[in-house]
Amino acid sequence: MLYLVPTPIGNLKDITLRALEVLKACDVILCEDTRTSGRLLSHYGISKPLLPFHQHNEHKVLQPITDEIASGRNMALITDAGTPAISDPGFLLVRECIKNNVQVECLPGATAFVPALVNSGLPATRFCFEGFLPLKKGRQTMLKKLAEEQRTMIFYESPVRLQKTLADLATYFGAERLCSVSRELSKMFEENKRGTLQSVAEYFASRTVKGEIVIVVEGKKD
């Protein structure tokens, strides 16, 4: 079986007892970065063979891994933080396992966009997750399309591109559109900044930003 095991997005305590049981019981752990995953596993006294599985090698190792699981081995897929296949490697492996009648089970657990959405103060009854915006090709087209989206929108972004993305969102969505930027979720220096796209962009323009970032933006009003 392939187990998809969510890992903490910051605070190491944010992992379920069941997740730890699965990681201790499986034969191999597939991970995005063996160093990052090694620190988490060491913290919980888990020693298992680690096999790199990331966006740079997933096509190459996809079939061998699927064959190994089909032969009777239990593998767990984890990422550096959060739930596998959410803006992280994993989709291709899940799809391949399903095609080959290999059982897949996803455990519930940490995902960065959920707390960011809930504490944003924006409507959470209907929302769409957009992940990372295109860097160049297709970015303008995507922003024009999303400017008409009426549901609350969720984006992931890196610290180095936060200011540009906020500026682009303000240009295409309108400077007065409400938003919330969450960073370092579940960590000691967690920050949630709420306001209009313009005010939040101005706030971060004068600051050095670190950590993983989630941007939540109000949908277009009728």
The residues facing 181 across adjacent strands are 193, 215
* 75: containing domain: 2-106
For range 155-166, the mean pLDDT: 96
pLDDT in tens, 78-89: 999 999 999 877
Residues 13 and 59 in one domain: yes
Q: Count structural domains, the chain.
A: 2
* Residue 193 maps to a domain: yes
pLDDT in tens, 21-76: 999 999 999 999 999 999 999 999 999 999 999 888 888 999 999 999 999 999 99
* Residue 63 maps to a domain: yes
CATH number at residue 21: 3.40.1010.10
Cα separations in angstroms, 84 against 36, 118, 156, 179: 15, 21, 15, 26
Cα separations in angstroms, 62 against 39, 76, 102, 151: 25, 14, 13, 35
* Residue 222 maps to a domain: no
pLDDT in tens, 179-213: 999 999 999 999 999 999 999 999 999 888 998 99
